[in-house]
A and B are shown apart, each in its own frame.
Chain A
């Protein structure tokens, strides 16, 4: 599609990015929630990128120059957060685990996003038998318990073997299958709404082809809610991944670190008073999910002009003084009230 560049964007791209633009228009508690979310998610992301530098040991390292690691050692000394029953360093596993989580989120959300958006656009725009079949399939997937479905797919894909990418992909695929119907539904609903909008009809009247209408007129307008869904689904993806690992369908400790798997192994420790093997991966999961959810919820609130908080309008002049309609509102004063 050749489209001559007729315009230049008015604002720099950076300040129009989803989270940045939301940050700029937020105030008060909503801003606080968003900032906390962004900070938590940022820490999570940076940890995963710099895992090789941050982690004192490798995720499957059991010994160093001074000999084998002790098992189930309490936090302190050489092992800041202690070691597990298998002799792994807890801190290192928590840090490396973020890398696995990020990879799974990216792969699964990217795949479900792509599939869901394409299917949703086609199904919504053309309707007919294609639409009916896809909706029935999506409903059928909804009817399954998500974790059960993820387990089945994980078995099908990995066939019991475990490697880093094999594990990642089996997790990501199973999460994809669960998420595709969500994206599909949202995009399909938006497409059906947009199909009746006058600007789509006007494109039709101009003689635009279906591909052009979908690609140029519907796609951009239908994908407004995606940043929100992305963040909310990312946190759900982590939970599904952890659930899979906890049930033993995740990735073996030798191929990657995985928080859910560590939690599973820590299960037996709880009764013997060994708290550090379970608490730290657990905190990692909680904080990551909390961070992503806060970002998602804040974006949701800020996207809705009815919920979005604003600074109060400038105070009107004191009683008695003639009101000057031309006097501009004082922003500093408005901020205080």
Chain B
């Protein structure tokens, strides 16, 4: 095991790096043979520095992060050096590793609701880490640990920490839970925090708060942060230096401003070009009125209400509350909102997967309020549906060809040869080779599966297509291709579409008309360009201001604007 301490011994005082990774390699044993997850990674993190490791799924960024804390599973073998405070994490004993964790380096996980144990109070969970380490050679008492837990909660901006320390995780909101996780990471004042996609599971408005918190930690306490993310907006917002990874290798390393301004490597350039940028490439560019209003109205919602029944003795939950909108032929209607805003519920109601409970929803002239599966079934061939997770929306036991042929077999009953020909045509129309019909879903990549899913929904030439977060499970570069394809096909086939997404930039790229949902209410609707450019409703303003754009200078300006918006 080589321990190249070059950078550590060269540096003096504050310039000494907090973390040095030198020629790190990680290999996993799998059923399909060895997988080299990390091939050759070297990087340094200085004191008070935020280094972002970006890359698409499978680039090895999370494995690198886990190696820093010695969290690799048994099937992995690592070599090289990961040096924190003079200790090589890869070669130290388990007991030394335990001492390093928490004291020198701590981790913030992606999903705060699973990172916290639901049966213990948050105070107990923070104190657990404090009590696991002795201070000045003596054990920390329970009382002292709790005091320090309260202090940690105060640091991360939880109001009234003396009371909240006794709360259970479910009593906090998602963003507050992430604050608690960060508080637990901070409890022992580690010099380094590894944050693995810390905001991916959160809504944009909450994400902005957490990013602000992480920035404050760096500014006030000098904590170094290794930020693992795929979101270029987050990188632009927070990072000082960026390391771009691709298939286990470092492709490029540069200060954030330099990287965004003049990326040197081809891969980085492609990655940055694929990131949707709010206000660029809008589908409603230059539109003055609502487009495509000459055709028939396909979907018409009037005071639509969808209520989920409550538990005994409680009121039901109104997922959709008094929403009115229309979707006309040829039009792409974009529906934006955060989680829980009811956007998916509306999509599912139009497809007849969720029952409406009030108001009126007319789909192709059919009143969904008195929905009967039997009478609605003939209309189903007019409606296509693209699901969020392409991996789950295909039957794993059927081939892509059989899956794409399903709608044909159900509605038109063609012969085998005819079906095969049609499937080939469909796959080619979504830019997949016809030979892919013989593959199973798991043999395709995420983007290919989503194309196949699009092919399936188009099989019967529907007049209406509902796309529920079709690209949120995909990497940016793949997302860009799928979105382009979607746009082309929509123009070619001329179907109306309801495009549901939480990503404002993505919705703006495709939609002619945009509706913003907030807690089940449609707070604003208008031409995409106008809604994004000059939002009217307070919530829309906040939503757009919270969205980080992939450009450090512009993002710094937006951040100031955001802060004044919240202050004023």
- In the bound complex, do residue A3 and residue B34 qualify as a contact, i.e. CB atoms below 8 Å apart? no
Q: Is there a chain A Cβ closer than 8 Å to B413's Cβ?
A: yes
- In the bound complex, do residue B27 and residue A199 qualify as a contact, i.e. CB atoms below 8 Å apart? no
Nearest chain-B residue to A208 (Cβ)? B410
Q: Is there a chain B Cβ closer than 8 Å to A314's Cβ?
A: yes
* Cβ–Cβ < 8 Å partners of B148 in chain A: none
- In the bound complex, do residue A207 and residue B29 qualify as a contact, i.e. CB atoms below 8 Å apart? no
8 Å CB contact of A205 from B77, B378, B385, B392: B385
* Cβ–Cβ < 8 Å partners of B33 in chain A: 329, 331
Binds B, one of A4-12, A173-181, A230-238, A274-282: A4-12
Nearest chain-B residue to A217 (Cβ)? B395
Q: Is there a chain B Cβ closer than 8 Å to A201's Cβ?
A: yes
Among A199, A204, A209, A319, chain B packs the most CB atoms within 10 A around the CB of A199
What are 9 residue pairs bridging A and B, where the CB atoms are less than 8 Å apart in the complex?
A6-B405, A201-B353, A202-B387, A206-B411, A207-B377, A207-B381, A208-B406, A310-B30, A315-B77
* Cβ–Cβ < 8 Å partners of A205 in chain B: 351-353, 380, 383, 385
Q: Is there a chain A Cβ closer than 8 Å to B340's Cβ?
A: no
Cβ of B567 to closest chain A Cβ, rounded Å = 43
Q: How far is the CA of A8 from the CA of B420 in the complex (A)?
A: 13
* Cβ–Cβ < 8 Å partners of B399 in chain A: 6-7
Q: Give me the 7 closest cross-chain CB pairs, A-B, nearest first.
A: A4-B416, A207-B380, A325-B39, A6-B401, A313-B29, A329-B34, A198-B393
Q: How far is the CA of A7 from the CA of B39 in the complex (A)?
A: 37
- In the bound complex, do residue B75 and residue A313 qualify as a contact, i.e. CB atoms below 8 Å apart? yes
Q: How far is the CA of A319 from the CA of B90 in the complex (A)?
A: 14
Q: Is there a chain B Cβ closer than 8 Å to A134's Cβ?
A: no
Write the B12-32 contact mask toward A (1 if CB under 8 angstroms, else 0): 000000000001010111110
8 Å CB contact of A320 from B2, B353, B396: B2
Cβ of A135 to closest chain B Cβ, rounded Å = 21
Q: Is there a chain B Cβ closer than 8 Å to A153's Cβ?
A: no
- In the bound complex, do residue A220 and residue B380 qualify as a contact, i.e. CB atoms below 8 Å apart? no
Q: How far is the CA of A6 from the CA of B416 in the complex (A)?
A: 8
Q: How far is the CA of A23 from the CA of B397 in the complex (A)?
A: 22
Q: Is there a chain A Cβ closer than 8 Å to B56's Cβ?
A: no
* Cβ–Cβ < 8 Å partners of B40 in chain A: 323, 325
* Cβ–Cβ < 8 Å partners of A315 in chain B: 77
Q: How far is the CA of A201 from the CA of B453 in the complex (A)?
A: 13
Q: How far is the CA of A170 from the CA of B327 in the complex (A)?
A: 65
B-side interface mostly: mixed
Q: Is there a chain B Cβ closer than 8 Å to A316's Cβ?
A: yes
Q: Is there a chain A Cβ closer than 8 Å to B161's Cβ?
A: no
> Which size class do B's interface residues fall under?
35 or more
Q: Is there a chain B Cβ closer than 8 Å to A139's Cβ?
A: no
- In the bound complex, do residue A199 and residue B395 qualify as a contact, i.e. CB atoms below 8 Å apart? yes
Q: Is there a chain B Cβ closer than 8 Å to A203's Cβ?
A: yes
Q: Is there a chain A Cβ closer than 8 Å to B407's Cβ?
A: yes
8 Å CB contact of A323 from B79, B437, B453: B79
- In the bound complex, do residue A2 and residue B402 qualify as a contact, i.e. CB atoms below 8 Å apart? no
Q: Is there a chain A Cβ closer than 8 Å to B246's Cβ?
A: no
- In the bound complex, do residue A319 and residue B2 qualify as a contact, i.e. CB atoms below 8 Å apart? yes
Q: Is there a chain B Cβ closer than 8 Å to A132's Cβ?
A: no
8 Å CB contact of A310 from B75, B380, B419: B75
Cβ of A319 to closest chain B Cβ, rounded Å = 5
- In the bound complex, do residue B77 and residue A319 qualify as a contact, i.e. CB atoms below 8 Å apart? no
Q: Is there a chain B Cβ closer than 8 Å to A221's Cβ?
A: yes
Q: Is there a chain A Cβ closer than 8 Å to B523's Cβ?
A: no
- In the bound complex, do residue B420 and residue A325 qualify as a contact, i.e. CB atoms below 8 Å apart? no
Q: Is there a chain A Cβ closer than 8 Å to B363's Cβ?
A: no
8 Å CB contact of A6 from B34, B76, B420, B453: B420
Q: How far is the CA of A6 from the CA of B427 in the complex (A)?
A: 14
* Cβ–Cβ < 8 Å partners of B77 in chain A: 312-316
Q: How far is the CA of A2 from the CA of B409 in the complex (A)?
A: 8
Q: Is there a chain A Cβ closer than 8 Å to B292's Cβ?
A: no
* Cβ–Cβ < 8 Å partners of A314 in chain B: 27, 34, 77
- In the bound complex, do residue B29 and residue A323 qualify as a contact, i.e. CB atoms below 8 Å apart? no
* Cβ–Cβ < 8 Å partners of A8 in chain B: 438
Cβ of B59 to closest chain A Cβ, rounded Å = 14
* Cβ–Cβ < 8 Å partners of A221 in chain B: 395-397
Q: Is there a chain A Cβ closer than 8 Å to B394's Cβ?
A: yes
8 Å CB contact of A202 from B23, B75, B385, B419: B385
Q: Is there a chain A Cβ closer than 8 Å to B70's Cβ?
A: no
- In the bound complex, do residue B34 and residue A313 qualify as a contact, i.e. CB atoms below 8 Å apart? yes
- In the bound complex, do residue A4 and residue B393 qualify as a contact, i.e. CB atoms below 8 Å apart? no
Q: How far is the CA of A235 from the CA of B415 in the complex (A)?
A: 46
- In the bound complex, do residue B407 and residue A207 qualify as a contact, i.e. CB atoms below 8 Å apart? yes
Q: Is there a chain A Cβ closer than 8 Å to B198's Cβ?
A: no
Q: How far is the CA of A264 from the CA of B2 in the complex (A)?
A: 70
* Cβ–Cβ < 8 Å partners of B417 in chain A: 4
Given A198-B389, A315-B77, A323-B79, verify A3-B39 contact (CB < 8 Å). Answer: no
Nearest chain-A residue to B381 (Cβ)? A207
- In the bound complex, do residue B423 and residue A6 qualify as a contact, i.e. CB atoms below 8 Å apart? yes
Q: How far is the CA of A25 from the CA of B31 in the complex (A)?
A: 7
- In the bound complex, do residue B410 and residue A3 qualify as a contact, i.e. CB atoms below 8 Å apart? no
Known A202-B453, A203-B395, A310-B30; 18 more pairs at CB < 8 Å: A4-B417, A6-B401, A199-B392, A199-B396, A201-B353, A201-B393, A205-B352, A207-B377, A207-B381, A207-B407, A207-B411, A212-B410, A221-B395, A312-B77, A314-B27, A323-B23, A323-B79, A325-B40
Given A4-B415, A5-B416, A205-B353, verify A313-B407 contact (CB < 8 Å). Answer: no
Nearest chain-B residue to A200 (Cβ)? B395
Given A6-B402, A6-B437, verify A206-B28 contact (CB < 8 Å). Answer: no
Q: Is there a chain A Cβ closer than 8 Å to B1's Cβ?
A: yes
Nearest chain-B residue to A203 (Cβ)? B406
* Cβ–Cβ < 8 Å partners of B80 in chain A: 323
* Cβ–Cβ < 8 Å partners of A310 in chain B: 29-31, 75
* Cβ–Cβ < 8 Å partners of B79 in chain A: 316-317, 323
Q: How far is the CA of A136 from the CA of B190 in the complex (A)?
A: 56
Q: How far is the CA of A311 from the CA of B30 in the complex (A)?
A: 8
Q: How far is the CA of A310 from the CA of B385 in the complex (A)?
A: 40
Q: Is there a chain A Cβ closer than 8 Å to B337's Cβ?
A: no
